[in-house]
Structure formats: C-alpha cells, structure tokens
Amino acid sequence: MLQTFDIGIDLGTANILVYSKNKGVVLNEPSVVTIDTVTKNVVAVGAEAKEMIGKTPEKIMAIRPLKDGVIADFDVTTEMLKQIMKKASKKMGLALRKPNVVVCIPSGSTSVERRAIQDAVRNAGAKKIILIEEPVAAAIGAGLPVDEPVANVVVDIGGGNTEVAIISFGGVVSYHSIKIGGDRLDDDIIQYVRKEYNVLIGERTAENVKMEIGYALIDHEEAFMDVRGRDLVTGLPKTVKLSSYEIRNAMKEDFLHILEAIRATLEDCPAELSGDIVDRGVILTGGGALMNGMKEWLSKEIFVPVQLAESPLESVVLGTGKALKYVGKLVTVAR
C-alpha cells in the first residue's frame, strides 16, 4: 500500500505540476531555472525564474531544461526537481523524505529518454519511480474509462509536443507524437513579427499574443493587440498593432501538422474501435486545448465530436494522482 506522501509529477516542457493524494494539485510552476553562469548556482526556479526570462544580466541565464517533452539538460533538470519537490513537501506540510513518485513520459520517448527521466527523479530524492505514458495519464485525469475495452481518444497539446492516442483496456492502441506544441506556436509569432514588421519580440510577449488573440478557428471576430518590441533597423523600442487574422495565418502550418497527427492516429485505429470514436468523440487536454476556437476548429475538420477536458492544464497530473491508487495496473500500462 502506498503511503500518503506519495506524489505524481507531470514533467512538462512549459510547466511542472505536482499532485498529492490527500491535497490534490499542490504545485504548478513553470519549467524554468535561472543559473549564475559563474558560480553555477541555481538562482531561482519556477514562477520566479520565468519572470526573469529576457531580463537578466549577462552572468544570470534563464534555462528551460526540458525540450519537446524530454530532458535537454540533465543536471539542471535534477536541480529543478529537487527544488520543486522541496516546495511541494512544504505545501503538503511534510518533512522531506524519499517519496514514491509516478511520472509521465511522452508515448514516443526512447528507452534512453525514459532512463534519463528516471535518473533525474531518483537524483532529486525519489525512492521508487513508476512511469506512465502521458496520454494514458491525460485520459485518466479527464475521467475516461481507460480500463474498459472502448476507444478513448486523447489529444494532448502541451508546451513541447502534441500527443494523440487511442487508449483501450488500459493501454495505448494507436498513437502519434509530434514535436509541435505551445512553444512552437510562440516561435511562429516571433518569426512572423520579425519578418513582417522588422520588430523583435520576446518569448513572453509572443505567449501573451497567442493567449489573447491566437485563434485556431479561421472564421472568428477579428481582434487586435498592441505589442512592444525592438525595431531591428533603428534598435529603438517600437509598438506594432497585430490582428488575430495575421496571427492565425502565422500559426497555420503547425495547426495543420497537429491535424495531420490526429487524422493519422484515427486512420490507424482498429475497425472494431472506430464506432466508439464516432459515438464518444475526442477529448482535448493540455494548455494548447485552451487556444481560442481549438475545439470548434477540430470538430469541423475531423467530423467527430470534440470535448474539452474539465481541467485541460491539470489533466495529466490529475491522471498520475489517480493512478497512485492502482499502481499494480499502472506498471503494466507503462512500457
């Protein structure tokens, strides 16, 4: 029997979330670390570190140690996890001890990537580690009956990647994973503003533009936003007015890649489960699911019902939390 201080971790490219069996989601912090490049010491982790992006002196560097859903910088990830687990244990009111941890991994991750995640979590102070595939966790967190022999289709649009999976009887029947997520859409906006207006904007500004006037649906009421950046010709600050239509156009290619991944997964679905998909539809999770008009756009394109999970941002970590209750089954789910 697992003890009360066991935790579930959603190790996301954009955010790290921690779930406690007794208190629910206890922590939701950006996956950002700031480091002093001279002393190699960690200056800040999470929300505090994100505030520093693009604003630090030369010797302080803001790093996102996770890229496309996997570990890009092992040492920094380990340090970040240590700090996150300390923060979580404080919030749970527990002395810091070695917890058993359930961690999500992308479905398409290699054995090397999985080993890196296990090692980083173990080095951060975990005792026993169980891996669960992200789409399975998202489906559990969205309240789908994953252990029944029916098709549950999950589209998880995260910060670093998009995972599409059909889950039945506790396992992944068909899946596609692409390295396109919220970060890539932010980059689309940065490149568009640079090319079209000769103005350089930062990551956080691009993210704000995406959240405010980013639309997946082509037909929508046009919205505008003033954005400040640096003029690449004069080097001086400059304000430009952006339209939601041009932002939709800037992100168009990546939306089509996401759509392609969904179609490919549905095409790989066994015939027996296809009927379930028509009846039950698709569940959208992850931060990208909150994009304006995403649900409506996808249901138009794939001709099946599309539902938004109750808590899209927390579905994966809620799934790891619920999975703590049946670890025996979970071990068979994590490959």
Q: What percent of the chain has pLDDT over 70?
A: 93
Bridge partners (DSSP) of residue 24 are 20
Q: What are the domain boundaries of the chain?
A: 7-137+315-333, 141-180+258-308, 182-250
pLDDT value at residue 331 = 43
Q: Report yes or no: 181 and 161 within 8 Å, Cβ to Cβ.
A: yes
Q: What pLDDT score does 332 carry?
A: 41
Residue 278: other Cβ atoms inside 10 A: 11
pTM assigned to the model: 0.87
Residues in binding site for ATP: 13-15, 207-210, 287-290
- Strands (E) in the chain, as ranges, are 7-11, 15-20, 24-30, 33-36, 42-45, 60-63, 66-67, 70-71, 101-105, 129-133, 152-157, 162-168, 171-178, 199-200, 224-231, 237-243, 282-285, 306-308
User: pLDDT band at residue 3, thresholds of 50, 70 and 90?
Assistant: very low
pLDDT score recorded for residue 242: 97
* CA dist., res. 84 & res. 197, Å (int): 40
pLDDT at residue 269, as a whole number? 87
Element (H, E) at 111: helix 111-123
By mean pLDDT, which of 16-25, 199-208, 214-223 is the weakest? 16-25
User: Fold identical between 141-180+258-308 and 182-250?
Assistant: no
Strand 15-20 relative to strand 7-11, pairing: antiparallel
**Tokens 């046009």 -> residue:** 222
Tokens of 213: 């006037």
How far is CA 56 from its chain centroid? Answer: 25
Would residue 46 be called left, alpha or beta, if left means φ above 0 and alpha means ψ between -120 and 50 degrees? left
Is pLDDT at 294 greater than 70 in this prediction?
Answer: yes
> What is the rounded CA–CA span in Å between residue 325 and residue 130?
13
Q: How confident is the model at residue 335 (pLDDT cuts 50, 70, 90)?
A: very low
Give domain 141-180+258-308's CATH architecture. 2-Layer Sandwich (3.30)
How far is residue 223's CA from residue 209's CA, in Å, rounded to a whole number? 11
Task: Tell me the per-residue pLDDT of 67-126, one tens digit each, with 9 for 90 and over.
Answer: 877 888 888 888 888 888 888 888 877 655 778 888 888 877 888 888 888 998 888 888
Predicted local distance difference test score (pLDDT) of residue 5: 47
Count of alpha carbons within 13 angstroms of residue 28, beta-carbon side: 9
Residue-wise pLDDT for 131-143, tens only, equals 888 888 999 899 8
CA 200, CA 195: separation in Å to the nearest integer? 9
213 compared with 171, residue with greater pLDDT: 213
Query: Phi and psi dihedrals of 125, rounded to 5?
Result: 120, 10
| Confidence class for position 301, pLDDT limits 50, 70, 90 | very high
Going by the annotation, the residues of the binding site are 13-15, 207-210, 287-290
Cα separation, 316 vs 160, in Å, equals 14
Domain 182-250, CATH homologous superfamily name and number: ATPase, substrate binding domain, subdomain 4 (3.90.640.10)
- Using the Cα atoms of residue 75, residue 78, residue 82 and residue 87 in order, give the sign of their dihedral: positive
Work out the average pLDDT over 306-318. Answer: 92
Closest by CA position to 178, among listed 79, 282, 258: 258
Residue 233: the pLDDT is: 94
Tell me the two tokens of residue 93: 């009111």
pLDDT above 50 (res 4) = no
CATH superfamily ID and name for 7-137+315-333: ATPase, nucleotide binding domain (3.30.420.40)
- Strand partners for 171: 168
Secondary structure (3-state) at 215? strand
DSSP characters over 198-213: SEE--HHHHHHHHHHH
Band (pLDDT 50/70/90 cuts) for residue 129 is confident
> Is the separation of the CB atoms in 92 and 85 below 8 Å?
no
- At residue 39 the predicted structure's pLDDT band, cuts being 50, 70 and 90, is confident
Q: Is the pLDDT of residue 154 over 60?
A: yes
Amino acid at 57: P
Q: What is the pLDDT of residue 164?
A: 94
Residues 268-285 have a mean pLDDT of 89
Q: Is the pLDDT of residue 192 over 90?
A: yes
